[in-house]
Structure 1
Amino acid sequence: MCLECGWTCETEPVAEAGAPVVLCTNPACGAANPVGQQYCQRCQTMLPSAPGSMLEGRYRIEKLLAMGGFGAVYRAVDTRTNLTVAIKDMICPDAEEFKIRLSFFRREAEILRALSKLPIVPRVYDFIQKGQSAHLVLEFIEGTDLVKVMEANGNRPFPIDLVIEWGKQICDVLHHMHSMDPPVVHRDLKPDNIMLLADGKSIKLIDFGTARDLGRTARTRLQAKTRVYTEGYAPPEQIIGKPEPRSDLFALAGTLYHLATGRAPEGVFTGKEIAELLAMPNGTVPPQHRWFFELIRINLSEDVNERYFTAREFKADLEARRVTTETHCPHCQTVNKVREPYCLKCAAPLTDLAPPCQQCGKTNRMGSRFCIHCGNRLR
């Protein structure tokens, strides 16, 4: 008690000697808290679950793997099957905020279930909601993310043949996501979110928490979304909150560049640097890999219409190991530049349908810069 003013300091409860405690993960705090507390008694930081604690009487927590502002990821054991699993927590004390985050958490589980047939996507085993918390039980991935693998080897790049194979598998995931109704974009594709398994060749794509659908109407698709992105991997339209499927292709190009060179991309500037290298008569790009870096350059374009239109198209060129530059009109057989929306001779449509024009509501073809019905500028 202060002898000057009479103020009495309320001391924090101290755990009994030898009793298990949970240490606060806040570096500025580090207080010991009794097992079972959700928030630190000193600083109110969310606390991890203690090893050995049980979830729903079934999942035994073994180790904290990662901790964030609204949740944590643990390695756990399903005591019914003896299977090692990963548990992703989402805890939020505010009731209104919890409702919003819960809808996103459920959507992540739905997206993963929809992608369950793809071998590089983790399986979903269970979804648990209890009070102001929710838990996603996932396949446990035993591996290391590709950034850590490169850093442990002096940022040595991976063999391009292996990078190409990984790119094709990721294209399959993006194709499925972009083909959903409504389309879903990943928004955070990067080497940090790709795990390399013990065999040194197989990968798993993790963390779909940022994935969002674009909406069912033209109006909702063009509305600004929450700005979620990683600098260097995100295109301009995503940075301003208007991502679309081709934004994921930009991120994929940046990811493949990083894996093939050992250098992190710098967005559209990396695309321009690659263009300069390819233009040099005696450049450093090996002749047998020029097509690969040309493909990367195209998909790091600032203008979304200059990139590939679909993940299917991206994968086709990875498989063929070339960059497609021309296409034949199916009606008159005239040769057109690839991604031209209409045949230059007979005006037959050459590309898939694009979202309806925001001005008149009518459809155009992908690659069109202006609406052919009302002249409105298209994105």
Structure 2
Amino acid sequence: MKVLRYFQEGTERETLLKALSKEVLLWRQLNHPNILPFLGVNTEMFSPSFCIISPWMFNGDIISYAQKNPLDLDAKLKHTAQIAEGLVYLHGLDPPVAHGDIKGANILISDDCNSCCLADFGLSVLDTQSMNPTQTSSTQGSLRWLAPEFINPPSYTVAGAGMLIPRDIYAFGCTIVEILTGKPPFSHLSQDITVAMKVLGGERPSLPVDAIPVDSDFKSIHLILEGCWSEKNSNRPSAQIVLDLISKSQDRLLVGVQVSTHISSLC
């Protein structure tokens, strides 16, 4: 259950409710193991706030979970691939559907700890309908994952729905770094405004060498990030391409483990 505390009244609240109804209807129709199911919405229990209802995920989000249960590189790549599979599903719908707020806090771990899913799908529409501050704004606290064209829209010429899918891809690149390091993008910077200025100046999050090896076996991961963070959003790869590259890294990691195990058995 998630309570969305918006403070509109009268016609503004009705407009917001219509936008919410459209989004939750779409969410209700989604069916994929890596997308958190939607169960319903309640507009009365916490009135005037809205209540979104979805399955309770006991293990919480992937970042909090990993802090208590450290994940090895294989597990991190597995969960990253699962999120990519969820994005392939969303972006492959007709018409394509954008998540709108991809980050570690919106990736939940299953009860059996073997898979993860994207949560808080579609809530970004509420921000576009509301001009007032909200405690649950889907982009509040998400600037570190936000593509440059959304940090400063007037500086970019591409507009409309065509921006939404590339925004997901950019955020996913930031989330890959977050999963691999356990820290948010630009974790060395304390102020979001500083992050915004860095991104608009062309800087991107860094991936420490201790997070993933910088060698030919994992070159695909670095290629993913480079592509996801392209300044020109039309140059960012599709979710399917990202998934394929992650899978290559998984395969190479598996081969490396098998070779290492074989060598150890000979000693």
Structure 2-normalised TM-score? 0.65
Structure with the larger RCO, 1 or 2 (CA within 8 Å, 6+ apart): 2
Deviation string, structure 1 residues 355-377 (Cα, Å, up to 9, x no partner) = xxxxxxxxxxxxxxxxxxxxxxx
The equivalent of 2:165 in structure 1 is 245
The equivalent of 1:269 in structure 2 is 203
The equivalent of 2:253 in structure 1 is none
Deviation string, structure 1 residues 66-117 (Cα, Å, up to 9, x no partner) = xxxxxxxxxxxxxxxxxxxx364666561122112212321331232222x2
The equivalent of 2:189 in structure 1 is none
The equivalent of 1:315 in structure 2 is 243
Give runs of aligned pairs for residues 1-379 of structure 1, distance below 5 A: 86=1, 88=3, 92=7, 94-115=9-30, 117-130=31-44, 132=48, 134-152=50-68, 158-212=71-125, 228=139, 230-241=142-153, 243-266=163-186, 269-270=203-204, 273=206, 285-308=214-237, 310-321=238-249
| Structure 2 SS opposite 1:269 | coil
Cα distance in 2 for residues equivalent to 1:284 and 1:140: 36
Report the more deviating stretch, 286-295 or 176-185. Answer: 176-185
Cα distance in 1 for residues equivalent to 2:138 and 2:43: 27
Quote how far apart the aligned CAs of 1:249 are: 0.7
Cα distance in 2 for residues equivalent to 1:208 and 1:227: 9
Identity of aligned residues (%): 20
Alpha carbons of structure 1 residues 169 and 107: separation in structure 2 relative to 1, 3 Å:
farther
The equivalent of 1:356 in structure 2 is none
Cα distance in 1 for residues equivalent to 2:89 and 2:22: 15
- Give the structure with higher Rg (CA): 1
Letter in 2 for 1:149: Y
Quote how far apart the aligned CAs of 1:144 are: 1.8
Quote how far apart the aligned CAs of 1:182 are: 4.4
The equivalent of 2:263 in structure 1 is none
Letter in 2 for 1:191: G
| Structure 2 SS opposite 1:174 | helix
Alpha carbons of structure 1 residues 150 and 134: separation in structure 2 relative to 1, 3 Å:
closer
Deviation string, structure 1 residues 10-43 (Cα, Å, up to 9, x no partner) = xxxxxxxxxxxxxxxxxxxxxxxxxxxxxxxxxx
Q: 2:82–2:117: 8 Å Cα contact kept in structure 1? A: no
Superposed CA RMSD: 3.4
Q: 1:163–1:259: 8 Å Cα contact kept in structure 2? A: yes
| Structure 1 SS opposite 2:108 | strand
Quote how far apart the aligned CAs of 1:151 are: 4.0
Quote how far apart the aligned CAs of 1:180 are: 4.1
Cα distance in 2 for residues equivalent to 1:159 and 1:318: 15
Cα distance in 2 for residues equivalent to 1:91 and 1:239: 23
The equivalent of 1:375 in structure 2 is none
Deviation string, structure 1 residues 331-370 (Cα, Å, up to 9, x no partner) = xxxxxxxxxxxxxxxxxxxxxxxxxxxxxxxxxxxxxxxx
More helix as a share of residues: 2
The answer for unaligned runs of 5 or more in structure 2 is: 127-136, 154-158, 187-198, 251-267
Aligned residue pairs, count: 213
Q: 1:228–1:239: 8 Å Cα contact kept in structure 2? A: no
Cα distance in 1 for residues equivalent to 2:246 and 2:96: 23
Alpha carbons of structure 1 residues 227 and 133: separation in structure 2 relative to 1, 3 Å:
closer
Cα distance in 2 for residues equivalent to 1:101 and 1:238: 22
More strand as a share of residues: 1
Deviation string, structure 1 residues 186-228 (Cα, Å, up to 9, x no partner) = 2210001112234333213211243449xxxxxxxxxxxx994
Quote how far apart the aligned CAs of 1:284 are: 5.8
Cα distance in 1 for residues equivalent to 2:138 and 2:77: 29
Letter in 2 for 1:234: L
Q: 1:190–1:251: 8 Å Cα contact kept in structure 2? A: yes
Alpha carbons of structure 1 residues 179 and 95: separation in structure 2 relative to 1, 3 Å:
farther
Letter in 2 for 1:140: W
Q: 1:186–1:212: 8 Å Cα contact kept in structure 2? A: no
Cα distance in 2 for residues equivalent to 1:176 and 1:211: 19
